[in-house]
Structure 1
Amino acid sequence: MTIAKAHQIVVIGSTWGIKNTFHSFVAILATLLVITTIYLTRDRGEEKLSQKINVSIESLSSSKCDLFSGKWVFDNESYPLYKEKQCSFMSDQLACEKFGRKDLSYQNWRWKPHQCDLPRFNATKLLERLRNKRLVFVGDSLNRGQWVSMVCLVDSILPSSIKSMQSIANGSLNIFKIKEYNATIENYWSPLLVESNSDDPVNHRVPERTVRIKAIEKHARYWTNADYIVFNTYLWWRRPLMNVLWGSFGDTNAVYKRVEMLRVYEMAVRTWSDWLEVHVDRNKTNLFFVSMSPTHERAEEWGATKGDNCYKETNMIAKEGYWGKGSDPKMMQVVEKVLDDLKTKGLNVQMLNITQLSEYRKEGHPSIYRKQWEPLTQEQISNPNGYADCIHWCLPGVPDVWNELLYAYIINQ
């Protein structure tokens, strides 16, 4: 960082000989007048110089490094930030080492922005910032994975006597509480943000996805008064058409219509933003939106064999700027437009743009190394590509970096 330097202005006085004559007296008066003028001019100059320096400092402090543009650096000394087995609340869907993965190099990568460094994650410092506060992750299973990551990042420094986990709202809201700090790190299941027929945290796989496009209060009441809210919604929208419901589920007078997905997505995000505009306390709540988490389900996109996916991948994608077809820029453009509109209304939602940095990490997914919730068929066993999970992420791993980015914003606010 460039450091502005102020140059001292040094005034050197002269020794004057004084004669007891009228002319000498006049000369002294004239000299005093000149010196006074010099000092006044100097003071005004110093004031202007001070103003210039202040402007320069303000300009420097307002300029921000792009945290989302950078590269991955292998670091097996300081990463991972925690051990999978040491996290009391690790999810079996993300515990790749536990379920047989031998190559653990995916745990040893650090994200390095081009123009600066991410601050080192400090769990104690974060908890101090969260004292008497709520940090809530709202969204789908990728958002839940980021929540598990955040819990694991702070869990290791806490004795069991001051931490607890509870589930309420039919399992939709999971609350990790740190008693000593009176702080909570929470996750609320709401994969489409608005109400839908996929809102059950367990039984949400339905053949036809339907959303109540103008209804959000059922979910939003659980976010109210949170101090930090981290939203996402993307994965569950990946289909050409969606069922839109005007009315209530089970209402015989309700109106259903099939609508192109991007249009429905925009309506849902607008409903979400309308709720924020009306209900969020701008002096209390800090808002974040996590961009698309990329998938790696088509190996031909990075030059591998067609029909393969992330299964057996152990190296990241080296091509700078790589972008897979599993990420839809049009959807994030919708979000960016909505966030820009909110900003004009005095409500700032910080975008955590994790898409590009995550695109490189094709080797970071669970693949076959996770708990299988249903018994595998013989066909699946003979073809691991068919049941490899190339959507979620192993922990420790990529979502830890998402939380390092979040941490940087929370600490520097």
Structure 2
Amino acid sequence: MSVLVLAIGRGLMMGNNNNNIHMFVVKIVACFLVMGFAYRLYFSTFFQIIPPQIAVIQQPPPPAANFTLSGHPHTATISSPSCDIFTGEWVRDPTGPPYTNSSCHTIEHHQNCMKNGRPDSGYIYWRWRPRDCSLPRFDPKTFLHYMRNKSMAFIGDSISRNHVQSLLCILSQVERPVEVYHDKEYRSKRWFFDSYKFSLSVIWSPFLTEAKIFEDNDGHASGAVRLHLDEPDPEWVNEFDTFDYVEIAAGKWFLKTAVYYENNTIVGCHNCKIEDVTELRFDYAYRRALQTTLNFITKSEHKVYTLFQTTTPDHFENGEWNTGGYCNRTVPFEEGETELRDIDTIMRDVELEEFKKAVGDTNGSTLKLFDTTRLALLRPDGHPGPYRAFHPFEGKDSTANVQNDCLHWCLPGPIDSWNDLLIHILLRA
């Protein structure tokens, strides 16, 4: 438009020598040019074209915090330092998990629910949302940059191994790790991400302290556990100096029949029915084992960043794992629909008490609580159930009695959200 007006002005000036007309036209043209420029500048600054499908009013995002990871600048969205990320609800997430059971090659067969024939998939379309703040989705590239030239170990029972498998599945979408070690029973393993020189381990230590266990892979025991409550387990202690980060977890194994030792002397037992041996509650042993473990970590000359995970409740209904118990729910519980069982409440109370004492008595170590108990309680739908085995009802009646797993998590599944919590805590270190 401004070009057309300029051309008309020039034509008038060439056909008329009157100086007044000349000046009048020049002013008109200049005025149009200035107005056109102002119009473009003003409206391009304050208006944007938004596609109709996403033209919605949104709340402003939480403030961005800058941090540097091993020389790599990043920007992460984080929430208020006072936010309790462990209090919230499970919300529907149509985007689903960042991997599938086909794109991840480290899922153990008894957690590969889809391959094993589980017919529903709604359990993978939920995500944990804290009540009063934002929890960004786990970013595998940011995590690997953060862990460059470092090592991390998950120490505990099969729930720790379950978590490591979830973490590996997400990280392997960036780089597929190499398994560089496993023990004879494939319970302890180590992987290496060569591009980041990052080592990730899982160490089988279900009691955290030294124990002699007489049990097969199906959970059938031939004798009582011999548990030394005052000696941390050499399985992880011997490698402790090589770790930069550890996550420790225990719990359900302390319900097993066991004989307790301190100073290599029997001090009691749980459900052992041995003459002249004092019967002790499982929480006595759990407390002493946690004290031994946390004392070793917080007093060690080698300073390690430690996450202490609380107990994970199971969701067996109408029986236990070996008495016909099952879990066939397909949606999460809402807050108030369920409560912790007495056993889980006792365990969590012990954990919180011992954690509080350990935090107040550290020798320069970092100790953080990883309190996943309540958010795990709300997910009865995310377990393998009968699909811990490949097509368990094939060739059988649909009502056949098969063993269920209502403690561990399908992969992909609810445990993937634990990694959102994990990186949130680490970036606030």
Question: Smaller-chain TM-score range?
Answer: 0.7 to 0.9
* Aligned residue in 2 for 1:135: 152
* Aligned residue in 2 for 1:208: 224
Distance in 2 between the 1:62 and 1:212 partners?
A: 42
Distance in 2 between the 1:363 and 1:73 partners?
A: 14
* Aligned residue in 2 for 1:266: 287
Q: Over residues 182-239 of structure 1, what are the superposed CA-to-partner deviations in whole Å (9 max), with x where a residue is unaligned? A: 1011100000100112398958752422211122151211233311101100011125
Q: Which of 311, 334, 340 does residue 292 from structure 1 map onto?
A: 311
Distance in 2 between the 1:198 and 1:105 partners?
A: 38
Distance in 2 between the 1:109 and 1:321 partners?
A: 17
Q: Gapped runs of 5+ residues in structure 1?
A: 5-59, 249-253, 301-306
Question: Is the aligned partner of 1:360 residue 2:371?
Answer: no
How far residue 368 of structure 1 moved from its aligned partner, in angstroms, is 0.9
Distance in 2 between the 1:172 and 1:370 partners?
A: 17
User: Taking structure 1 as the reference length, what is the TM-score of the superposition?
Assistant: 0.74
Distance in 2 between the 1:218 and 1:124 partners?
A: 33
1:186 is matched by which residue type in structure 2? S
* Aligned residue in 2 for 1:189: 204
1:318 is matched by which residue type in structure 2? E
Q: Is the 8 A contact 2:124 2:413 kept in 1?
A: yes
Alignment of 1:9-408 (within 5 A): 63-77=81-95, 79-158=96-175, 160=176, 163-170=177-184, 171-198=186-213, 205-206=220-221, 207-219=223-235, 220-239=237-256, 242-246=258-262, 255=266, 257-258=268-269, 259-279=280-300, 281-282=302-303, 285-298=304-317, 309-320=325-336, 322-325=338-341, 327-346=343-362, 347-371=365-389, 382-384=399-401, 386-408=402-424
Identity %: 24
1:389 is matched by which residue type in structure 2? D
User: Pairwise CA RMSD of aligned residues?
Assistant: 3.2
Q: Is the 8 A contact 1:126 1:411 kept in 2?
A: no
How far residue 383 of structure 1 moved from its aligned partner, in angstroms, is 3.5
Q: Is the 8 A contact 2:80 2:133 kept in 1?
A: no
User: Taking structure 2 as the reference length, what is the TM-score of the superposition?
Assistant: 0.71
Q: Over residues 92-119 of structure 1, what are the superposed CA-to-partner deviations in whole Å (9 max), with x where a residue is unaligned? A: 1210001001201111101111111112
Q: Is the 8 A contact 1:242 1:264 kept in 2?
A: no
How far residue 280 of structure 1 moved from its aligned partner, in angstroms, is 5.2
* Aligned residue in 1 for 2:6: none
Q: Is the 8 A contact 1:295 1:327 kept in 2?
A: no
1:64 is matched by which residue type in structure 2? S
Larger CA Rg, structure 1 vs 2: 2
